[in-house]
Structure 1
Amino acid sequence: MNNFDQNDVIFDQRQDGLNAFFNKIYGLMGAGVLVSALVSFIMIRFFSGNMVTILQSSGNFGFLLLWLIPLFMVVPMQRSAMKNSSAALPMFILYSAFMGFLISFTLIMYTATDITLAFVTAGAMFFGLSVYGRTTKRNLTGMGKAMIAGVWGLIIAGLLNFFFQSPAIMYFSSFIGVIVFSGLIAYDNQKIEQVYNQVGNTDGWAISMALSLYLDFLNLFLFLLRIFGFGGNSRN
Structure 2
Amino acid sequence: MNDNVIYTRSDAGLNRFFAKVYSLVGMGIGLSALVSAMMLYMFPDNMIAIMTNQPWIYYGATFLELALVFVASSSARKNTPAALPIFLVYSALNGFTLSFILASYAQATVLQAFVSSALVFFVMAIIGAVTKRDLSGMSKALMAGLIGILIASLVNLFIGSGGMSFIISIISVLIFSGLIAYDNQLIKRVYDSQGGRMVNGWAISMALSLYLDFINLFLSLLRIFARND
| Greater C-alpha radius of gyration | 1
Return the offset for 1:57.
4.1
Residues 114 and 229 of structure 1 are in contact (CA less than 8 Å); yes or no, is this contact kept in structure 2? Answer: yes
Percent identical among aligned pairs is 46
Residue ranges of structure 1 left out of the alignment (5+ in a row): 1-11
SS in 1 for 2:12: helix
Higher helix share: 1
Per the alignment, residue 25 of structure 1 pairs with 21
Offset at 1:112?
A: 1.1
Matched to 1:210, the amino acid is A
TM normalised by structure 2 equals: 0.90
How far is 1:56 from its partner? 3.4
Gaps of 5+ in 2: 1-7
Distance 1:67 1:155, change over 3 A: farther
SS at match of 1:163: helix
Cα distance change on mapping 1:33 and 1:137 into 2, 3 Å: same
Q: Which residue of 1 aligns with 2:4?
A: none
Query: Structure 1 residue aligned with 2:204, among 199, 203, 207?
Result: 207
1:179 and 2:181 equivalent? Answer: no
Deviation at 1:58, TM superposition (A): 5.8
Counterparts of 1:44-63 in structure 2 under 5 Å? Answer: 44-57=40-53
Aligned partners of 1:162, 1:63: CA distance in 2, in Å? Answer: 18
Counterpart in 1 of 2:222?
225
CA positional deviation for 1:116: 0.7
State which of 50, 61, 65 in structure 2 corresponds to 1:70. 65
User: For 2:45 and 2:12, how far apart are their aligned partners in 1?
Assistant: 50
Paired amino acid for 2:172: G
Question: Post-superposition shift, 1:119?
Answer: 0.5
Shift of 1:69: 3.4
User: Which residue number in structure 1 is paired with residue 74 of structure 2?
Assistant: 79
66-75 or 189-198, which deviates more: 66-75
| Residue 150 of structure 1: how far off its partner (Å) | 1.9
Q: CA RMSD in A?
A: 1.8
- 1:104-145 CA-to-partner distances (Å, cap 9, x unmatched) read 001001111001100100000100000000011111011112
- Once residues 69 and 157 of structure 1 are traced to their aligned partners in structure 2, the CA distance between those partners, rounded to angstroms, is 23
Residue of structure 2 in register with 1:216 after alignment: 213
Runs of 4+ in 1 over 3 A off after TM superposition: 56-59, 61-69
Tell me how far apart the structure 1 counterparts of residues 57 and 145 of structure 2 sit (CA, whole Å). Answer: 26
